[in-house]
Amino acid sequence: MSDKIPVTVLTGYLGAGKTTLLNRILSEPHGRKYAVIVNEFGEIGIDGDLVVGADEEVFEMNNGCICCTVRGDLVRIIDGLMRRKGKFDAIVVETTGLADPAPVAQTFFLDEAVGRRTKLDAVVTVADAKWLAHRLKDAPEAKNQIAFADVILVNKTDLVEAEELAEVEARIRGINPYARVHRTERCAVPLSEVLDRNAFDLDRILDIEPEFLEADHDHAQGHDHDHDAHDHHHDHGSHHHGGLRHYHDEEMQSLSVATDQPLSADKFFPWVQDLIQKEGPNILRCKGILSFKGDPERFVFQGVHMILDGDHQRPWRDDERRESRVIFIGRNLPQEKIREGFVGCAA
Amino acid sequence: VTARDEIPSVAERARIFAAGAPVVAIHFLESTAAFVLGEEALLLVTKDGAQRRVPVHGGAILSSASDGNRVITGGDDGKVIVTAADVTSAAIAADAKRRWIDHVAVAPNGTIAWSAGKQAFVLTSKGGAEALEVPSTVGGLAFAPKGMRLAVAHYNGATLWFPNAETKPEQLEWKGSHLAIAFSPDGRFLVTAMHEPVLHGWRLADRQDMRMQGYAVRVRSIDWTADGKWLATSGAAHLVLWPFQGKSGPMGKEAQLFASTEDNVETVACHPRQPIIAVGYANGLLLLVRIPDGAEILAKRSAAAPITALLWSPDGTALAFGTEDGEAGILSDLG
């Protein structure tokens, strides 16, 4: 429904520049009014009327699933904010530097009252160009925030050399090749790149190619960025594809599998359900575009840990390659098992 | 069948007002209905229809309660405001950090409680406040029938606190997030609506747990019948009544279900004397349902907006309702 209030989640490790971005969102003349949910209420100057302090209370759901967590404070605050409906057009949730974005995102899918009135727009992560590489080594939260993101601002680029910047971007890509990455100084990015992304909207799952391949059209290997090269080492090393330095993160990886074979819905759904039952805690994000045998429509899905949301999107066009593709971003994923399982769903 | 075209109707006895904001709660100060709006004000409507808007908060009104003489409200401006029937309002507390006042409660003896974040407060006779900190943000507050004891709902259970005594607060444990909370009229049971679509309860004598489930959505509205025999709740596409007649409450018994429609019940209100329950639905339908036969009377036809607030006048002759899109109404001559 179009009258749902969009919610942008702003993450990033301490000092990366979240507040700078937040103040830009609030102060630029875009004609929209934002309600802001912040975690360090009163400690940092935020301009704006509707600013609410949050407590980051992560609640487990009583459904026996350890990764089905929601932010209890968000449920309460959004209920309160909706009493002032009409006073704001969108909500921005700023998390602490140590927060896991998953419970925030899951709140919009697991809480019926929140989901009925608001929709998650995107997870935007601000990364410090100088310090991110270090944080990826010593702070699991920083890695989660990169892996989870739809949009990443590599901020404070003025404080690093070109080589260092290329390296930090390569490390980001090693974890999450699907997010849109922007290089920024003082978070200066057109706000349209941060807001109204519809990243969780099934209607907008158009393209799930790795983002950097789009920007790098002469990349020879095209669709092959799924880490299945035979020379794959989990060794913190880097290798070069067409001049692009490529890091593998030992713990957090992305996986993309595609097939031109039409899939069997009767095979795919039990397979994906079983996969997220077993691997859900390790799968941070997943997305897919599927072509089922005998089905004239594209089926799309997206998920967060063990929550999957899927639907028919639109008819396949005649000029379109009917490829099925799934991507997973997660921790220590059993890549071969997923790959074989997916290909085994062919009709 | 949602339309309910064939059943007796009292819908024509309604007087409808534009409240100007979503109606989030209703209280009666004798025969005057106090509609609590989502923002800023109360709308007081006297028996003869005279309206008066009373500004009380500088933003959203998050919580309200009444002892029949005063309406207590908590706002996102960090204030607790008391409004008397003579339309005078006064702040009795202002949070030092301007935190939201998420919940308020008032005991039959007039004792006022409120919460901000993890802290519950009770106003003392000297005008100060006793504070209790619980492990997580307070989900709901309820005074025991005698007003000496306050129940505080939170994550993983509830805390029972005697604000005027030195005794250590008692913990009732049950995993999960507990929100709305209410004692049974005889004080034997404590019930919470959880974040999940389920109710939890404790028999206080022996702390036996009770789990009441089968709901479609989170239960937001719970109310005991005047005789204390039934607990009426929202949360499903019918009125759900849990039997509390016996020693063990609803344990081992089935809920009675009445007035099925295609839409979920949003809010319920029990008649102050008779076994009649007003039931407001998400589609705007309002029905009066009689126990035990489930006979229905139409009180308002379905419309776009959910019925978000509902209350009988203390004498049971009037029923006030409010909707999410700012419609307020009073049905009178229901005696």
pLDDT digits over B110-147, tens only? 999 999 999 999 998 888 899 999 999 999 999 999 99
The interface predicted TM-score (ipTM) is 0.90
**Number of Cβ pairs < 8 A linking chain A and chain B:** 66
B211 touching chain A per CB within 8 A = no
Contacting residues of A for B155, CB less than 8 Å apart: 57, 59, 72
Question: Does A113 sit within 8 Å of B217, measured CB to CB?
Answer: yes
Contacting residues of A for B95, CB less than 8 Å apart: none
DSSP state of B285: -
**Contact indicator for A177, A210 with CB cutoff of 8 Å:** yes
A238 pLDDT more than 70: no
Give the chain A residue whose CA is nearest to the CA of B308.
A83
A212 pLDDT more than 70: no
B46 touching chain A per CB within 8 A = no
- For residues A205 and B187, the model is more confident at B187
Per-residue pLDDT of chain B (335 residues; tens, 9 = 90+): 456 888 999 999 999 999 999 999 999 999 999 999 999 999 999 999 999 999 999 999 999 999 999 999 999 999 999 999 889 999 999 999 889 999 999 999 999 999 999 999 999 888 889 999 999 999 999 999 999 999 999 999 999 999 988 899 999 999 999 999 999 999 999 999 999 999 999 999 999 999 999 999 999 999 999 999 999 999 999 999 999 998 888 998 999 999 999 999 999 999 999 999 999 999 999 999 999 899 999 999 998 899 999 999 999 999 999 999 999 999 998 87
Q: What percent of chain A has pLDDT over 90?
A: 63
Which DSSP string do the residues of B208-269 spell out, in sequence order? EEEEEE--SS----EEE-TTSSEEEE-SSSSEEEEE--STTTTTT-PPEEE---SS-EEEEE
Q: How far apart are CA B11 and CA B228, in angstroms?
A: 28
Nearest to A84 among B39, B177, B198 (CB): B39
Angle, to 10 degrees, between the axis of helix A101-110 and the axis of helix A72-81? 60
Q: Which residues in B114-126 are b (16+ Cβ under 10 Å) and which e?
A: bbbbbbbbbbeee
A267 pLDDT more than 70: yes
Q: How far apart are CA A203 and CA A300, in angstroms?
A: 8
Q: What is the residue whose two structure tokens read 């100084």?
A: A185
Please name the residues between 119 and 138 in chain B that touch chain A, using a CB distance below 8 Å.
136-137
Mutate which of B39, B133, B177, B179 to test chain A, going by most A C-beta atoms within 10 A? Answer: B177
Contacting residues of A for B23, CB less than 8 Å apart: none
- In this structure, the number of other CB atoms found within 10 A of the CB of residue B33 comes to 27
Contacting residues of B for A42, CB less than 8 Å apart: 97
Mean pLDDT, residues A303-315: 92
**What confidence score (pLDDT) does residue A45 get?**
58
**What confidence score (pLDDT) does residue A329 get?**
94
Give the chain A residue whose CA is nearest to the CA of B76.
A80
A346 pLDDT more than 50: yes
Task: Note the pTM of the prediction, 2 decimals.
Answer: 0.88
For residue A26, give every residue at least 6 positions away whose Cβ sits within 8 Å of its Cβ, in sequence order, or none: A34, A36, A46, A47, A48
**What confidence score (pLDDT) does residue A251 get?**
86
pLDDT digits over B24-43, tens only? 999 999 999 999 999 999 99
Question: Does B62 sit within 8 Å of A72, measured CB to CB?
Answer: no
